Amino acid sequence: MSFTLVRRAVPRVNRSELAVPGSQPKMMEKAAQSGADVVFLDLEDSVAPDDKVQARANIIKALNEHDFGASVVSVRINGLDTHYMYRDVIDLLEQAGERIDLIMIPKVGTPADVYAVDMMVTQIEEAKGRKKKIGFELIIETALGMQNVEAIAAASPRNESLHFGVADYAASTNARTTVIGGPNPDYVVLTDKDSDGNRQVHWGDMWHYAIARMVVAARANGLRPIDGPFGDIGDKDGYLAQARRAAVLGCEGKWAIHPSQIELANEAFNPPAKEVDRAKRILAAMKEAQAQGRGAVTLDGRMIDAASVRQAEVMVAKAKLIAGGKSKAKASGRGARA
Helices (H), 188-254: 208-220, 236-249
Does 160 interact with Mg ion (rule: CB under 5 A)?
Answer: no
CA-nearest of 90, 18, 82, 19 to 56 is 90
Binding site partner of 229, from Mg ion, ligand GLV, none, Cβ cut-off 5-8 A by kind: ligand GLV
CA-nearest of 253, 248, 256, 258 to 226 is 253
Least distance between ligand GLV and beta carbon 90 (Å):
23
Does 168 interact with Mg ion (rule: CB under 5 A)?
Answer: yes
Least distance between ligand GLV and beta carbon 108 (Å):
11
Q: Which residues bind ligand GLV (CB under 6 A)?
A: 45, 139, 141, 165-168, 228-229
Which residue lies nearer to ligand GLV by CB, 88 or 168? 168
User: Angle CA(96)–CA(102)–CA(106) in degrees, nearest 5?
Assistant: 105
Burial of 147 by CB count in 10 Å (0-12 exposed, 13-18 middle, 19+ buried)?
A: middle
Does 165 interact with Mg ion (rule: CB under 5 A)?
Answer: yes
Does 109 interact with Mg ion (rule: CB under 5 A)?
Answer: no
Binding site partner of 267, from Mg ion, ligand GLV, none, Cβ cut-off 5-8 A by kind: none
Least distance between ligand GLV and beta carbon 284 (Å):
42
Give dist(CA 42, CA 56) in Å, integer: 9
List 38's β-bridge partners, or say none.
Answer: 17, 72
Backbone conformation region of residue 186, classed left if phi is above 0, alpha if psi is from -120 to 50, else beta: alpha
Which residue lies nearer to ligand GLV by CB, 139 or 279? 139
> Binding segment for Mg ion among 16-24, 62-70, 147-155, 160-168 (CB under 5 A)?
160-168
Which residue lies nearer to ligand GLV by CB, 17 or 141? 141
* Three-class SS state of 159: strand
Least distance between ligand GLV and beta carbon 19 (Å):
8
Least distance between ligand GLV and beta carbon 283 (Å):
38
Q: Residue 323 contacts by C-beta under 8 Å, 6 or more apart in sequence? A: none
Does 228 interact with Mg ion (rule: CB under 5 A)?
Answer: no
β-bridge pairing 302-304 and 102-105: unpaired
Binding site partner of 166, from Mg ion, ligand GLV, none, Cβ cut-off 5-8 A by kind: ligand GLV
Least distance between ligand GLV and beta carbon 171 (Å):
8
* Contacting positions for Mg ion (CB under 5 A): 141, 165, 168
